[in-house]
Amino acid sequence: MKPDTRCYAARVDNLDAVTRFVGTCADRFGLDDGTRFRLLLALEEAFVNVCRYAYPEGTGTAEVTCESDGDAFALAIADRGRPFDVLSLPEPDTRADVILRPVGGLGVHFIRTCASSASYRRDDGRNILRMVFRPAESGDQP
């Protein structure tokens, strides 16, 4: 699959459009349902993170790229906001009592858990989060 890139205003109400774009790429790639679900979950967490935190002083864009990486599906999200590595955030405590549990922190946990691998780089004024999703072997549970 050739790289396909779309640029969106970094607003949460663009989530449906971003999800449709990446879902279409996943279908073209032939990604299995379980991996497709994890891809779209990691996409939401990464995109919403850019919408909420990348541009504290105004508006900006999120550039979404889908491509093949060998046998795997690669998703990259780039923004031009302040330097920030979402992967540097600590893991949340997923065992805490429901009332004691701080709100938030789960998004990056889902990015780490859903992607087969994830990496961050700062390049030419951009934060680039790249996630690779290896398709399930046939016989894997979704």
Partner 1 sequence: MEFQARREAAAVVVALVGRLDAVTAPVYETRMHELIDGGDVRVVIDFERLDYISSAGLRGLLVTAKQLKAKGGQLRFANIQGGVRAVFDMSGFGSMFQLDESVASALTALS
Nearest approach, Cβ of 89 to partner 1 (angstroms)? 12
| Cα dihedral 36, 50, 93, 116 in deg (nearest 10) | 30
Q: Judged by CB under 8 A, which stretch of 61-69, 80-88, 90-98, 119-127 contacts partner 1?
A: 90-98
Task: Provide the phi-psi class of 108: left if phi over 0, else alpha when psi is between -120 and 50, else beta.
Answer: alpha
- Of the pair 16, 123, the CB lying nearest partner 1 is at 16
What strands lie across the sheet with 4-9, from one edge to the other? Answer: 4-9, 61-69, 72-79, 126-133, 117-123
* Residue 6 touching partner 1 (CB under 8 A): no
Provide the H-helix boundaries in 1-142. 15-29, 33-53, 106-114
Burial (0-12, 13-18, 19+ Cβ within 10 Å), 20: exposed
Q: Which residue of 56, 58, 90, 94 would you call a contact of partner 1, by CB under 8 A?
A: 94
* Residue 137 touching partner 1 (CB under 8 A): no
Residues touching partner 1, count (CB under 8 A) = 28
Among 73, 89, 83, 91, CA closest to 130: 73
Q: Which residue of 56, 88, 103, 124 would you call a contact of partner 1, by CB under 8 A?
A: 103
Nearest approach, Cβ of 48 to partner 1 (angstroms)? 5
Of 107-126, which residues contact partner 1 (CB under 8 A)? 107, 109-110, 113-114
Residues in contact with partner 1 by the rule CB under 8 A: 12-13, 15-16, 34, 37-38, 40-41, 44-45, 48, 51, 94-95, 97-99, 101, 103-104, 106-107, 109-110, 113-114, 142
